[in-house]
Amino acid sequence: MAEPDSKLDIYLANRQALVDYVAPIVGGQAQAEDVVQDAWLRFDARDTRPVQRPVAYLYRIVRNLALDLTRRLHSDKYQPGGAELLETLVAATPSPEHQLYHQDELSQLEDALAELPERTRIAFEMHRLGGCTLQQVANHLGISVGLAHSLVRTALTHCAERLGEGDE
């Protein structure tokens, strides 16, 4: 059988095969018809340069459109109305005012820690900031676990008092 010459002849000769090809991808005959119709519009709108294998090119257009449709449908099913919902979400980052407030608090905490004796500061930083156990703090500083606990409690009380002074 002779190869059809015009784009329309190629499309009409392969239309049903294209629909059958794409129906399982998009999940139905009606969606497949829409995809094939869109493929025809793209195929017909292509510039006048000849295509080496027009049928293969048409199949590629259909396949790409089907995959795009499937992705779009999947994302819509995943969260219907997702775009509208996204617009109502509050930003996860703090406002500039909150950032400034927390920077100020952090600066006050650094100042409070700098006022502590070195051993007390080290015990606090190891336990509260470094996640070390009181036993690890005691071993590192060469002191008893009870004294390590007392140093951490002293540092914590001192820092809480210093941070509380800024609220007045």
pLDDT at 40 over 60: yes
The reported pLDDT for the residue numbered 76 is 53
Question: How many Å apart are CA 96 and CA 129, to the nearest integer?
Answer: 25
Instruction: Report residue 138 as tokens.
Output: 């005691």
Report DSSP letters for 41-95, one per residue. HHHHHS-SSPPSSHHHHHHHHHHHHHHHHHHHHHHHHHSTTHHHHHHHPPPSSPP
Going by the DSSP 8-state scheme, the letter that residue 116 receives in this structure is: S
Q: Which of 125, 101, 104, 100 is nearest to 114 (CA)?
A: 125
Q: What tens digit of pLDDT does each residue of 46-59 get?
A: 776 777 888 888 89
Helix (H) or strand (E) holding 26: helix 7-26
The reported pLDDT for the residue numbered 1 is 39
Contact yes or no for 105/115 (Cβ under 8 A) = no
Mean pLDDT for all residues in the chain: 84
Instruction: Report residue 66 as tokens.
Output: 């089907």
What's the predicted TM-score (pTM) here?
Answer: 0.44
The reported pLDDT for the residue numbered 138 is 95
Q: What tens digit of pLDDT does each residue of 59-93 get?
A: 999 999 988 888 877 765 556 666 677 677 776 77
